[in-house]
A and B are shown apart, each in its own frame.
Chain A
Amino acid sequence: MAIATLAAAIVTVGIFSFLYRDNPFYRACEHLLIGLSVGFSLVLLWNSVLIPKLLQPLFVEGRLPAMIPFVLSLLMLLRLKSSLSYMSKPVLALVIGSGAGVSIPAMFEARVLRQIAASVEPFGVVGDGSVSALMLLGMLISLVGVVTVIVYFFYTRPDTKAFNGASQIGIYFLMVFFGATYGYTVTSRLTLLIGRIEFLLGDFLHLL
């Protein structure tokens, strides 16, 4: 049996031992997972980003423009010393500003404008005979759901019967969404369990 399979089986059983009660074996496995995960990420970042994108261009190839991210990185690290942490603020501002500049227009278009369009666009073809009565019903339910959920999150709405009623309907739509998501989550967790049992029975015990 491969050492990797044996190690994976021991750690799997260790993690599952928590189902009985918290114990040192479980704790050791948990710490191992966190340590390995952080260690792997650090090595990966060092090898695939810091060396090829920063250190090699600057110190081996002598490309001076690489000095800019190098200096900015050093300034960012000054956050660790409280007396000098103010020097990291311009770098942080640059990161936040450029990040917001890139993401806000893209997200607004993709997540707001395109989604609004998708909610109402189908009604444009209702008259041409390509939409069945059932599809129309689905489209109407979807539109009611969008509007009432938005009303629910409209916290400064006037306290009128119409708004409160719409908000109440919005809650039902949200409950359906949460219910579906929860059902999917349970399914997902079961799949993870089945995956590990399959590993233990198949790769480790050769019973499958």
Chain B
Amino acid sequence: MSKLLSTFSARHLVFLAVLLAATVPLLLNIRLTHTASDETKRFYANINSLPSGSVVLISFDFEASAFAEIKPLADAVLRHCFRQNLRIIGLSLFAEGTALGEQTLSRIAIEKGKTYGIDYVYLGFRPQYTSAILAIGESLPKEFPTDYFGAATAAMPVLSGVINYDQIATVISITDGGMPTYWVDYAVTRYHARLQTVLTATMATSLYPYVSSGQIQGLIAGLKGAAEYELLLNEAGGGGRGLLAQSVSQIAILAIIIVGNVVGYLGRRRKWQ
């Protein structure tokens, strides 16, 4: 036992502290009271303002490694879209996001009692995102003659009248990378599509300039964004559940940084003396 303990270092104590800070609040199941930010309210209002039956193109542009952060965000936005009776066209420009996107879309659709082909469709993966985004601007039916499962899309009611971005009320890129910038470059700039984005927190600072310029009309990011969206929707989800764990973990990290610096400073001072 003493041999095992001797292999632990200060690094391991830090990991243990963060693990406990993230785990205990989840077990306590306490929900923090919080308010929605202006960005989240704007995203929510944009979706809320769409008339029933409007078409929303949702692109699942993320990798499996980011799914834990993306899931509560995607769930909340999809619930809102289905609640508004919007027609959803799902696709993916990232290979890894393809199956996860389909699973997420189907799960929420089933939860909301929606029918495949009528209320939503999943078109699957397209490589070379530049070509894919441009191709949708020319002709979506031509680019996607079949869906993810190989069924012909021509007769599907959900795609009735949809030719290109002109018939799509908004594009939502759900992503863990810089994909919204490509949607801005090609779909927004060239075809005047209306774009909103759902992001991991890491990417938020890089994309805020596009929100300020109006090229992206709405942005929600990270677990806090998910919690805020759930608050506006008045539906419980992964965002609200994880908010306390995240706050406690952040406080723990701040405390560790302060303690680490104090200990380091005292150690150096002892050496000087």
Task: List the interface of chain A (C-beta within 8 A of B).
Answer: 19-21, 37, 40-41, 44-45, 48-49, 52, 99, 102-103, 106-107, 109-111, 114-115, 117-118, 177, 180-181, 184-188, 190-199, 201, 207-208
Contacts and interface: CB of A to CB of B under 8 A. Distances in A.
List 8 tightest A-B contacts by C-beta distance, closest first. A195-B68, A118-B213, A41-B95, A188-B201, A191-B69, A188-B202, A184-B201, A110-B189
A194 B223 contact: yes
B189 A193 contact: no
Contacts of A114: 189, 213, 215
Interface residues of B, number: 60
Contacts of A190: 18, 22, 246, 249-250, 253
Contact of B215 (A110, A181, A187): A110
B66 interface: yes
B39 to A, nearest CB: 13
B12 A20 contact: yes
Interface stretch (B45-53, B104-112, B178-186): B178-186
A20 B4 CA distance: 11
Given A185-B202, A194-B246, A201-B27, A110 B12 contact: no
B234 interface: no
A45 B250 CA distance: 40
B64 to A, nearest CB: 7
A201 B71 contact: no
B245 interface: yes
B127 A45 contact: yes
A-side binding surface: helix, strand, loop or mixed? helix
A159 B79 CA distance: 57
Contacts of A111: 181, 184-185
17 contacts: A37-B64, A41-B95, A45-B95, A102-B130, A111-B184, A111-B185, A114-B213, A118-B209, A118-B214, A180-B205, A187-B224, A190-B249, A191-B68, A193-B249, A194-B223, A195-B71, A197-B22
Given A40-B96, A110-B184, 20 more contacts: A20-B12, A37-B64, A37-B96, A44-B98, A45-B95, A45-B127, A48-B125, A48-B126, A52-B146, A103-B185, A109-B189, A110-B189, A111-B185, A177-B205, A181-B202, A188-B222, A195-B67, A197-B19, A198-B241, A208-B27
Nearest to B204: A184
B99 interface: yes
Interface string B92-126: 00011011000000000000000000000000111
